[in-house]
Amino acid sequence: MSPSPASRTAVFPVAAGLCVLAGLACPPAAAQRLGEDIATIHDRCVAFVRGNPKVGLERARLWKDQGGGFAADHCIAMALFQLKDYAAAAKLFETLATAMLGMPADQRAQALDQAGLAWLDAHEAARAKAAFDGALALHGEDPDLLIDRAQALADLKRYWDAIDDLNRAIELAPKRADAYIYRGTAYRYVDARDLAAEDIDRGLALAPNSTMGLLERGNLRRLRGDAAGARQDWLRVTQLGPDSLEAKAAKINLGGLGAGDDAAPEAGPRQKKP
């Protein structure tokens, strides 16, 4: 099981538009001086760091020095995440959430959620769970937050607690394929394979080309002695997303088919980004 910060909606509202100066997009600080909307600048800053995080980090820090405020801090955190400095990104997301006391609770919760996702990638599941706990305290009954905390609980091997969170997430969002697939994976870890298979089938009915679901169904098929079925699912994963983390796990599993049906299959990777 598991996530990460780029697929989450930005903490600051998305807005369209470009600041163009001599045919080039303005750096954040210059755009702000020209009076461009902060949300638009932030949006463009985040988009830039996803493609060029090293330069983007420098620009975001300059923007912060020149009055960019929370929006600049968030862009800096996103750049750190893209540079794989996950712990530094997580700490900054947490600092940002604390500093945003006067802002809406859902925005503070989102910053904590992004901190949790970054902590997961830093292999700090306990700190991730603490961040998700804080997010849920601010904005409870959110299926995304429940699913994310389930990832941390699973990493802590607290599978039944993860299942509890996923149960509630499914009650709130019954068409979330990923919630069924994550719960199916958790059921496999507690050796409830029939329940696991039911959930994976539900997830794949909602998202037939989910590489995460196909990978997990292959895992279950292998554990049941269906090597041919497992091979079919894992090969499908490599076809659908040849460069994905799921494909990497599927290739490891395919290579282990000759080792016997009792060899443990690779679990699925995280799916989300801040």
Contact 170, 184 (CB under 8 A): no
66: pLDDT strictly greater than 60: yes
Q: Is residue 157 part of a domain?
A: no
Facing residues of 25 across strands? 20
CA dihedral sign of residues 67, 71, 74, 79: negative
Q: How far apart are CA 29 and CA 255, in angstroms?
A: 51
32 Cβ contact partners less than 8 Å away, ≥ 6 residues apart: 38, 41, 63, 66, 67, 68
pLDDT on residue 268: 59
pLDDT on residue 24: 27
Distance of CA 130 to the CA centre of its chain: 16
Owning domain of residue 91: 1-104
Higher pLDDT, 6 or 210: 210
Contact 148, 132 (CB under 8 A): yes
| Three-class DSSP category at 273 | coil
DSSP state letters, 209-257: T-HHHHHHHHHHHHHTT-HHHHHHHHHHHHHH-TTSHHHHHHHHHHHTG
Q: What is the mean pLDDT of residues 112-140?
A: 97
CA distances from 208 to 150, 174, 202 (A): 23, 16, 10
Q: What is the mean pLDDT of residues 66-89?
A: 95
Q: Is residue 85 part of a domain?
A: yes
- 9-65 pLDDT per residue, tens: 333 322 222 232 222 244 555 544 445 688 899 999 999 999 999 999 999 999 999
Q: Is residue 109 part of a domain?
A: no
Query: Which two three-digit tokens encode residue 180?
Result: 């069924």
Q: How far apart are the first and last CA of the chain?
A: 17
Which of the residue ranges 61-70, 126-135, 167-176, 184-193 would you say has the lowest mean pLDDT? 61-70
Q: Is residue 269 part of a domain?
A: no
Q: How far apart are CA 253 and CA 7, in angstroms?
A: 27
Q: Is residue 58 part of a domain?
A: yes
Q: What is the mean pLDDT of residues 119-139?
A: 97
pLDDT on residue 67: 87
pLDDT on residue 28: 54
Q: Is residue 213 part of a domain?
A: no
Q: Is residue 29 part of a domain?
A: yes
Q: Is residue 205 part of a domain?
A: no
The total domain count for the chain is 1
Higher pLDDT, 8 or 128: 128
- 189-236 pLDDT per residue, tens: 999 999 999 999 999 999 999 999 999 999 999 999 999 999 999 999
- 223-273 pLDDT per residue, tens: 999 999 999 999 999 999 999 999 999 999 999 986 554 445 666 555 566
Q: How far apart are CA 274 and CA 156, in angstroms?
A: 21
Phi-psi region of 3 (alpha: psi -120 to 50; beta: other; left: phi over 0): beta
185: pLDDT strictly greater than 90: yes
Which burial class, exposed, middle or buried, applies to 205 when counting CB atoms under 10 A from its CB (0-12, 13-18, 19+)? Answer: exposed
